[in-house]
Every structure is written in structure tokens, then in C-alpha cells.
Amino acid sequence: MGTRKRMSQSQRKDQIARIAAQLFAKRGFAGTAVKTIADRARVSEAMIFKLFRSKDGLYRYIIENRELTALRERFYAKLQALAESNDDEGIFRAIADTIFDFHLKDATLIRLTLYSALEGHATALNAMQGRADLFFSRLTAYVESRATAGVFEDIDPQVVVRAFIGMLGYFILLRQVFKETGTQDLDPDHVAQTFTDIFLNGIRKR
């Protein structure tokens, strides 16, 4: 019989974090005990405290996920290239595709976000707010620059950006959280393109 390969500390942390994220997404931070996480991950509670120091530290590790950080960096690089070529449709379609690709495959993060807001979890909310502020500031600046160039209508860019993200977010909530039947058979590519067309047709100067 072969021997089971021993996990590195980094691999073990990621394994525990994946399991914990699923539990937090179903029960919230307050409703998930460290013992439950340990039992599901088949490790001791002491191992969790050794790796993460606290339940809050484990939650922070999940929120600050390295893979998500790398994904965001690639996403911003793509948006920057599209912005430099003034590709309006390309930018907003890329945003829609990226958000849909991530959240429609796995509802864990959106559920974590909702629980964090409902429970007032400061660590998670501060991290999420910081990322949101960066995203909205960059996209707002782009919309403002296109309005200055006479391509978009002269309307509040902060409201405009949140209107677009609001369409995407509401669709994700209906499909992933509320399981609304009318959204289940819709093709995400079709929805992303339709939202992009509606949005750009509404703010472009005629």
C-alpha cells in the first residue's frame, strides 16, 4: 500500500479554509463553531488555532484569499488595457463576464458577503469595502474621462457605475441565493451582453 502524501502547512491551511468557507456560507460566522470546522476537515481544533490563531483569523484568511488576489490583479490588468484603447463595450463586458464567471460557479463568496453584512463582521466588511472602493474609483474615473471626451452623457459617474454593478449583482442574488426560477435557464453570456448593451445605450451621447 502506498503512503498518503503529507500536506504542507500552506496546503493544509487552504484545505481547512475551503471547508470553513462552505460552512460559514451556510451558517454564518456566529453560527459556525471551530469544532464543527475541525470535525469536517478531520483535524484538531488545536491545529486550527495553531495555523490561524483564532476563528477570526481563519475568516480573515478566507476573505483575503491568495487566488482571489491574483484573479483581481489579472482583472485590473485587463481593464487597464481596455481603458487605454477606449474600448467601452470591452470594459463593461469584461466586468460582467468576470463577475458572472466567478459567482455563478460558486455562491460561497456572495453568501459570505451577505452574512458578513448581516452579522456586522468588521474584519470582513473592512476588507471587502477596501476592494470595492478601489474598483469603483477606477471605473468611476474611466466613465468620467469618457464623459469629458464627449462620448458619454454628462451624468454622475458614481451613480452610473453602481447602476451597472447593481444589475449584475441583482441577477446573481436572484439566481444563486433566492433560486428564482426565471433566472435559472438564462444563458449568462446572453445576460452579460444584454446588460452591457442596455447600459451603454443609456449613457452614450447620440
Could you list the residue range(s) of the whole structural domain that residue 29 is in? 9-63
Residue 163's H or E segment, with its range, is helix 157-172
Whether residues 91 and 172 share a domain: the answer is: yes
Whether residues 51 and 71 share a domain: the answer is: no
Q: What is the DSSP letter of 2?
A: P
Among 63, 81, 96, give the residue marking a domain's end.
63
Residue 1's pLDDT band (cuts 50, 70, 90)? very low
Q: Residue 4: its pLDDT value, please?
A: 54
Is 60 exceeded by the pLDDT of residue 2?
Answer: no
Beta strands in the chain (DSSP E): none
- Domain of 186, CATH number, reads 1.10.357.10
Is 80 exceeded by the pLDDT of residue 119?
Answer: yes
101-116 pLDDT tens trace = 989 998 998 998 899 8
Among 21, 46, 63, give the residue marking a domain's end.
63
159-173 pLDDT tens trace = 999 999 999 999 999
Report whether 58 contacts 52 (CB < 8 A). yes
Q: Residue 86: its pLDDT value, please?
A: 97
Is 70 exceeded by the pLDDT of residue 30?
Answer: yes
Report whether 204 contacts 152 (CB < 8 A). yes
Q: Which residues contact 162 (CB under 8 A, 6 or more apart)?
A: 136
Question: Cα separation of 80 and 145, whole Å?
Answer: 14
Whether residues 100 and 134 share a domain: the answer is: yes
Is 80 exceeded by the pLDDT of residue 77?
Answer: yes
Residue 32 sits at φ, ψ, to 5 deg, of -115, 115
Is 80 exceeded by the pLDDT of residue 67?
Answer: no
Within 10 angstroms of residue 178's Cβ, the number of other Cβ atoms is: 9
Q: Between 1 and 174, whose confidence is greater? A: 174
- Domain of 48, CATH number, reads 1.10.10.60
**157 inside domain:** yes
Report whether 74 contacts 94 (CB < 8 A). no
Whether residues 38 and 87 share a domain: the answer is: no
Among 63, 88, 105, give the residue marking a domain's end.
63
Q: Tell me the whole-structure pTM to 2 decimals.
A: 0.86
**52 inside domain:** yes
Mean pLDDT taken over the chain: 92
Whether residues 134 and 194 share a domain: the answer is: yes
**2 inside domain:** no
173-206 pLDDT tens trace = 999 999 999 999 999 999 999 999 999 999 999 8
Question: Cα separation of 101 and 105, whole Å?
Answer: 6
The stretch 128-157 carries a mean pLDDT of 94
The contacts found for 170-174 with CB under 8 angstroms, 24 or more apart, are: 171/195, 172/99, 172/100, 172/103, 172/104, 172/110, 173/110
